[in-house]
């Protein structure tokens, strides 16, 4: 029996289940596209879950500092958290100086997925709660008279106006994330009051 091959427009001898090579290729590509779409949806779900897992986590009375085990809630000044790749929970820091010292350390090899600090223009200095902001877009005041858990600290702000007002009242210099260098965050505190930088 003769059947017309729809892809070539000519008659061929074939069984009723015949599919020409071009048609097979089209069907194969369609199946591949469908699988890719399903994979893409799964990827979107994974991405949404990852974004959710990168959201800042609020500290509680038991949250401790990664470096020294100090309880964050017991001390004044801005706190920080880093979401490292391959780590389910963020690493917390009781002071922004510790945060920058860790991030800028030459031996730091863990991949950073997200970094948050607290907006000190929106929360109480002595008992900071919430108001987490992206550390990379925050503004910082280095060299002020205000102390955090480790003594002199770097105040973090979401708004430049708040950072400038703080610097006028307490001293220090307003900097951006990329302006802060390793020699400014020596944990001995020596560079923190030097506003000539």
Q: Is the pLDDT of residue 70 over 80?
A: yes
Residue 99's H or E segment, with its range, is helix 96-103
Helices and strands in the chain, H and E counts: 3, 11
How many other CB atoms sit within 10 Å of the CB of residue 128? 23
pLDDT tens sequence across 78-96: 999 999 999 999 999 999 9
Average pLDDT over residues 37-65: 69
Share of the chain residues as helix, strand and coil, in percent rounded to the nearest 5: 30, 20, 45
Q: Is the pLDDT of residue 46 over 70?
A: no
Q: What is the largest CA-CA distance in the chain?
A: 95
pLDDT tens sequence across 115-156: 999 999 999 999 999 999 999 999 999 999 999 998 999 999
Give me the residue label for tokens 């922004």.
96
Lowest average pLDDT, out of 49-58, 122-131, 173-182, goes to 49-58
Q: What is the pTM (predicted TM-score) of this model?
A: 0.71
């Amino acid at each position: 029996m003769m059947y017309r091959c729809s892809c070539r427009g000519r008659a061929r001898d074939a069984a009723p289940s015949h599919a020409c090579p071009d048609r097979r290729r089209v069907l194969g590509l369609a199946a591949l596209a469908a699988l890719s779409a399903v994979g893409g949806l799964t990827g979107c779900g994974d991405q949404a879950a990852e974004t959710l897992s990168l959201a800042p986590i609020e500290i509680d009375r038991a949250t401790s500092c990664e470096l020294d085990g100090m309880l964050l809630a017991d001390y004044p000044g801005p706190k920080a958290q880093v979401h490292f790749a391959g780590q389910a929970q963020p690493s917390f820091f009781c002071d922004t100086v510790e945060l920058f010292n860790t991030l800028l350390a030459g031996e730091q090899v863990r991949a950073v997925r997200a970094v948050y600090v607290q907006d000190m223009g929106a929360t109480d200095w002595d008992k900071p709660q919430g108001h987490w902001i992206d550390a990379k877009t925050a503004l910082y005041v280095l060299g002020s008279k205000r102390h955090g858990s480790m003594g002199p600290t770097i105040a973090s702000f979401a708004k430049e106006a708040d950072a400038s007002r703080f610097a006028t009242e307490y001293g220090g210099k307003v900097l951006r994330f990329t302006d802060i260098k390793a020699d400014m965050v020596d944990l001995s505190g020596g560079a923190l009051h030097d506003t000539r930088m």
